[in-house]
Structure 1
Amino acid sequence: MLQSYYFRPLVYYVGFGAAAIFILSYFLPVLFPLGVAGLICLSIAILVDSFLLYGKKQGLLAARHLQERFSNGDENKVQIHLENNYGFSLRCRVIDELPFQLQERSWERYVEVNRDATQDVLYSVTPNERGEYHFGDIQVFVSSPLGIICRKYSFPSGTTVKVYPSFFQMRRYQLLSAANRLQEAGVKRTRRLGHSLEFEQIKEYVRGDDYRTINWKATARRDGLMVNNFTDERSQQIYCVINKGRIMKMPFEGLTLLDYAINASLVLSNVALMRQDKAGLITYAEKLDTFLPADKKASQLNLILESLYKQTTNFLEPDLEKLFAAIRNRITQRSLLVLFTNYESMESLHRDLPSLKRIAHYHLLLIVFFENTELQQLITSEANNTEDIYIKTIAEKYNHEKRLMVKELQMNGISAVLTQPQNLTINAINKYLELKNRQSI
């Protein structure tokens, strides 16, 4: 009981007031009975409030409700359910022991729960790294309407939640892809060049259909214009290749570039599976870490999710020679390889270019790398002195060099996408759909 028993500030205020009255009573003896009466009233109030709060063994119940897994970089809802079994209203100070990864040291909520009623405390957490997050106990300090003392309730509610790549973002694009409405999320329409090789159906001609697709035999049989309808080729292999080297450790708005690449890979794989393509995954650094063969079975997305969940960066340089050897030996069918990496200088690109050209000789290679948003801020900032002019000039040089890298890759027959981290997913899907429409795979 003593470990859960606390005085409210009012007790100390009254106690200090009584002490002041006793000091003054040395000079004015008439004040002494007033101080004694104050202490007697305080003692009675403490006894009454103690009886009210400790009259029931379990006057308050609390439980935490949350999802089985969290989405990295997104808001995830958490609910604490409070149930008041007392016959009076409670003022509660709720403290939830949050995982250390969130770096939240002073989380608390104040709430009032009516008698024999329930109250929910809702809040959200936004994890910035994947892994296991452990929630501790729930601590609740309750006080009665008298407000003299408070009782501490401790509810053992230890829970471990796994934080996965952003499946919220994946579900959003999944719904849009299923309804063929990806352009509403910023995915642009791409003009189709010619027809794909897969015939889908014969349908009635409607205004706007290409008259070159008219099926004259079906038109003669039905006595009405009929056209052939074609669909994108299916069962093509799409591999997301993720660099886990030192350069992917760079942070942006709380997440590393590796986290952005993982989130985009999950969404891109899901869109590919929705379009009946085969999705696979490769992660590498100084050696090949993960190789998940491309497939379109029902469990493929879960396999990709579980593989991406545990990926971490290190500070070693990636070995593209080993990556090429693995791709050459394990991927026998021509595939689209979407390589998520980053280059900060033309020299680093030239070191990798021979290996990239060898990969592009056997497969369709798409390299996705990142703009340095900090450079953009420096370029757009106002220069007030010579030092600022020098810094802006260097920033513009590096920014221009990024665009030269795109041209260098294109000159060597390698597709490239230069994107800001926050636009990575949309730009990657745009390029995938563009390559599909061009029948480049």
Structure 2
Amino acid sequence: MVLTGRTGLVAGLGSVAVAAGSGLLHVPGLLCAAAFEAVLGTGIAMDLVQCGRPQDLEFERGGDAAVRLGATAHVSLLVRNTGQRTLQGVLRDAWTPSAGSVPREPASADSPAAAAPGRLPVEPRHTLDLPPGAVQHVETVLTPTRRGDRRPDLVTVRTFGPFGLAGRQVSHEVPWRLRVLPPFHSRRHLPMRLRQLRETDGATPVLVRGQGSEFDSLREYVIGDDVRSIDWRATARRNDVVVRTWRPERDRHVVIALDTGRTSAGRVGDEPKLDSAMDAALLLAALATRAGDRVDLLAYDQDLRVSVTGALPGRTLALFSDAMATLEPALVELDGSGLARQLLAQVRRRSLIVLLTSLDAAAIHEGLLPELKQLTRKHTVIVASVADPRIAEMAAGRGNANAVFSAASSELALSVRRGTAAELDRIGVEVVDEVPSDFAPALADKYLSLKVRGKL
């Protein structure tokens, strides 16, 4: 049972009436108070008897089950009155704060949904008016602020009687799961890379074809062509210099490995390194599947967190997004030997292995360098890392002693990072080291470059 604000107001006015009656009319105070309480109690009892029972409601959810971070999802709640009385009241569909529950109508100064600056937003209330057997749809608009699975809390229904003095309140559990996927900001870079892919693949005419491993056609020599591509027999038959052209390899195997260890939790700009790595992985997966390659995904720190293998080309992005949605960094060091064993067990033929990790000198030298040497004997390996643009900015700082000290420290950090990249290059590892805004397209360009050069 719940009492409304109207009950408090009536009680306040009644106390004034009791005081006036006992003072002016010389009626005993106890008698006036008893009479007023009897009237108020009768009104409350009638409200409780005549209001609908929230226990008679049945609920069913529907709507969006997945949404990308930053987008809007709509989750509906079907409310059915199975009781014998008309039910009037309000409903609150509560969600976890990171689900981003917002009112359907824009908040205004005179709207109850409008929150003052610095105050937490109030979840919207929905008015219910359900005759027996009637159904009402309630829609909740969600704009999530975090990846992962977002679930509702409780659906609370409060019903009122005809006098509005009292009512009933019951909370129900109505389960649902909204999976918030990585946002895929780098999608905007995909059309340009696909155009480059079509050019190297011969779908559109270009002057120079890529050097792959699959023979495509013969054409006349033009200045700038590699003389090693000249077909001397065809040249002798045609009395003109003819070169072979090659089509970049297709049906190759690409394995994207996400480091979910301690270093992936570091924030660069507005998001963790792991989120930037996910964005780059999605762009690379979209590009590679369009190129006709098979793409697998795994996430590893000291144990295998995620593995997606054998995905059909049309389902690769969806499966990758779904698998990465719930990934969070683990505050442990990456087990490089365990990762190498996992990769060698999973990858049987020559493949492109893309390791999205950090160019942290200690982590590379202590855990990854021996394993990378082993992987490069059989596979093409890319190590891709997100660089912090703030370090480069600090390295250029001057003007006072603090700025010079910061510049020296930043330059030392950059020097160590460049040395680590050079050491990886010496053992045959391709390195991508870019700031977050350029990281995903740089990795895609590296993939295209390797494909054109026939190194997959």
**What TM-score, normalized to structure 1?**
0.66
1:245 corresponds to which letter in structure 2?
Answer: G
How far did residue 6 of structure 1 move? 0.9
Distance 1:151 1:381 in 2: 66
Instruction: State the partner residue of 1:218.
Output: none
1:64 aligns with 2:61: yes
Structure 1 residue 247, shift from structure 2 partner: 1.6
Is residue 286–residue 316 contact of structure 1 (8 Å, CA) maintained in 2?
yes
Structure 1 residues 391 and 412: alpha-carbon distance in aligned structure 2, compared to 1, 3 A threshold: same
- Pair 1:372 & 2:388 matched: yes
Supply the distance in 1 between the matched residues of 2:245 and 2:322 (Cα, whole angstroms).
38
**2:251–2:294 contact (8 Å) kept in structure 1:** yes
Query: What displacement does 1:279 show?
Result: 1.9
Supply the distance in 1 between the matched residues of 2:126 and 2:398 (Cα, whole angstroms). 48
Structure 1 residues 34 and 288, CA gap change in structure 2 (3 angstroms): closer
Other-structure match for 2:166? 149
SS in 1 for 2:350: coil
How far is 1:139 from its partner?
Answer: 1.4
Which residue identity lines up with residue 194 of structure 1 in the other structure?
Answer: R
Letter in 1 for 2:357: T
1:182 aligns with 2:190: yes
Name the CA distance, whole Å, in 2 between partners of 1:343 and 1:76.
36
Identify the range of structure 1 (26-35 vs 147-156) with the bigger mean alpha-carbon deviation. 26-35
Shift, 1:392, TM fit: 6.1
Structure 1 counterpart SS, 2:13: helix
Report the counterpart of residue 10 of structure 1 in structure 2. 6
Question: Which residue in 2 is equivalent to 1:236?
Answer: 252
Does the Cα contact within 8 Å between 2:92 and 2:155 map onto a contact in 1?
yes
Q: Deviations over 1:29-71 (max 9, x none)?
A: 479799888767655654554454238974x554332445x45
Structure 1 unaligned blocks of 5 or more: 203-209, 211-227
Q: Deviations over 1:209-239 (max 9, x none)?
A: x9xxxxxxxxxxxxxxxxx997542111111
Letter in 1 for 2:165: I
Displacement after TM superposition at 1:399 (Å): 5.2
Deviation at 1:250, TM superposition (A): 2.9
Which amino acid letter does the alignment assign opposite residue 171 of structure 2? Answer: S
C-alpha spacing 1:396/1:29, structure 2 compared with 1 (3 Å): farther
CA distance in 1, matches of 2:100, 2:267: 17
Following TM superposition, by how much is the alpha carbon of 1:277 offset from its aligned partner in structure 2, in angstroms? 0.9
Give 2:297's aligned residue: 281
Of all paired residues, the percent bearing the same amino acid is 17
Task: Give the CA deviation at 1:22.
Answer: 3.2
CA distance in 2 between partners of 1:201 and 1:139 (Å): 70
Q: What is the distance in 1 between the residues matched to 2:147 and 2:320?
A: 18
Question: How much has 1:341 moved relative to structure 2?
Answer: 0.5
Question: What does residue 206 of structure 1 align with?
Answer: none
Equivalent residue, structure 2, for 1:222: none
Measured after TM superposition, the shift of residue 281 of structure 1 is 3.5
Q: Name which of 116, 122, 146 aligns with 2:140.
A: 122
- The C-alpha deviation readout for 1:287-323, integer Å capped at 9, x for no partner, is 7777776786888778767865776654443343454
Structure 1 CA distance for aligned equivalents of residues 39 and 289 of structure 2 = 74
Pair 1:422–1:148, CA change in 2 (3 A):
farther
Q: Which residue is equivalent to 1:207?
A: none
State the match for 1:342 in structure 2: 358
2:110 matches 1:94: no
Residue 219 of structure 1: aligned partner: none
Larger displacement relative to structure 2 (413-422 or 286-295): 286-295
TM-score w.r.t. length of structure 2: 0.65
Amino acid at match of 1:368: A
Check whether the contact 1:277–1:296 (CA below 8 A) recurs between aligned residues: no
- What do residues 100-135 of structure 1 show as CA deviations (whole Å, max 9, x unaligned)? 9869998632223466673422221537354x6554
> Closer, same or farther in 2 for the Cα pair 1:30/1:324, shift >3 Å?
same
Cα pair 1:248 1:256 within 8 Å, conserved: yes
Structure 2: distance between partners of 1:144 and 1:312: 49
Counterpart of 2:334? 318
1:139 corresponds to which residue?
A: 156
Q: Distance in 2 between matches of 1:300 and 1:308?
A: 12
Matched, 1:356 2:352: no
Take 1:34 and 1:378, find their aligned partners in 2: how far apart are those partners? Answer: 80
Q: How much has 1:94 moved relative to structure 2?
A: 0.6
Partner of 1:257: 273
Q: 1:241 Cα deviation (Å)?
A: 1.9
TM-superposed CA distance for 1:244, in Å, is 3.2
* 1:368 shift after superposition: 0.9
Alignment match, 1:225: none
Taking the aligned partners of 2:137 and 2:98, their CA distance within structure 1 comes to 28
**SS, match of residue 362 in structure 1:** coil
Give the CA deviation at 1:142.
3.5
Contact preservation (8 Å) 1:64, 1:78: no
57 and 89 in structure 1: CA distance in 2 versus 1, 3 angstrom threshold: closer
Partner of residue 104, structure 2: none
Helix, strand or coil for the counterpart of 1:126? coil
Deviation at 1:394, TM superposition (A): 3.5
Residue 273 of structure 1 deviates from its aligned partner by 2.8
Letter aligned with residue 19 of structure 1: S
